[in-house]
Amino acid sequence: MVCGPIEGDPADPSGATITNPILIVEVLSASTEEEDRGNKWQHYQLIPSLLEYVLVSQTHPRVESYRRLPSSTGSRIGRGRWWSPAGAGRSATRLWTRRPPVKIFWR
């Protein structure tokens, strides 16, 4: 998800790479989970505009969210500290004000 004009990567001739997302959602699979949680996640943390990274399991009713923390100046942009509601002792599927109908994700 992007707010404002989409900024493309000039190094990508296909124009498929966006350099200013505020939200990235990855649907995990057995073949991609390690990469999504590892190298991709480390790379995504370097994107200054990114505010939230969400991982959705295909095999379990589980959604994980990682949110960028504000800096001491109040700006979220370009800071490297992240917070996960699940890491704060909450259920990883409980990321909304109202509990979502999780079963619809895994029909």
* DSSP H or E stretch at residue 26: strand 23-28
pLDDT given at position 104: 44
What is the domain partition of the chain in residue ranges? 23-72+80-106
User: pLDDT for 3-50, tens place per residue?
Assistant: 888 899 999 999 888 899 999 999 999 999 999 989 999 989 888 899
Q: Residue 7 has which token pair? A: 């900024």
Residue 90 CB partners (closer than 8 Å, separation 6+): none
Looking up tokens 């990567």 gives: 9
Overall pTM > 0.95: no
Give the integer Cα–Cα distance in Å for 56 and 47.
20
pLDDT given at position 106: 42
User: pLDDT for 40-96, tens place per residue?
Assistant: 999 898 888 999 999 998 888 888 899 988 765 555 544 567 788 766 555 444 444
pLDDT given at position 73: 52
Q: Residue 1 has which token pair? A: 């998800």
pLDDT given at position 107: 42
pLDDT given at position 101: 46
